Structure 1
């Protein structure tokens, strides 16, 4: 497969996009773990989530 005179630009572009996507996946994974840990700490300290209550509990 010949990419022509722009082969280096095309390959570099694909590598850059792959790197950005990998970084975003890593960032989202780390943030998810951080949010889960923070939520666990809040629940352990007695703070409850509104979404965990039923409609009768809100009265």
Structure 2
């Protein structure tokens, strides 16, 4: 029982850290989706998509 405070604090800090990391990842995911949507709206496409119909990696 003497180490209970240390153990509880350790679990609390670890849980808080993981929660903050998860929140940051979700926020960044939303931000990246908005940036991608903005780029696609401006006509910037994916590099793997070719207008000529060539498959990626094929010689012209």
TM-score (norm 1): 0.83
**Counterpart among 25, 28, 31 of residue 31 in structure 1:** 28
Shift in Å, 1:14: 0.1
State the 1:46 CA deviation.
0.6
Question: Among 49, 54, 57, which residue is 1:56 paired with?
Answer: 54
The one of 3, 7, 23 equivalent to 1:6 is 3
Q: Unpaired runs of 5+ in structure 1?
A: none
Q: Does 1:40 align with 2:46?
A: no
Ranges of 4+ aligned residues in structure 1 off by more than 3 Å: none
Count of paired positions: 55
Query: Secondary structure of the equivalent of 1:42?
Result: helix
Structure 2 unaligned segments of length 5 or more: list them. Answer: none
Greater helix proportion: 1
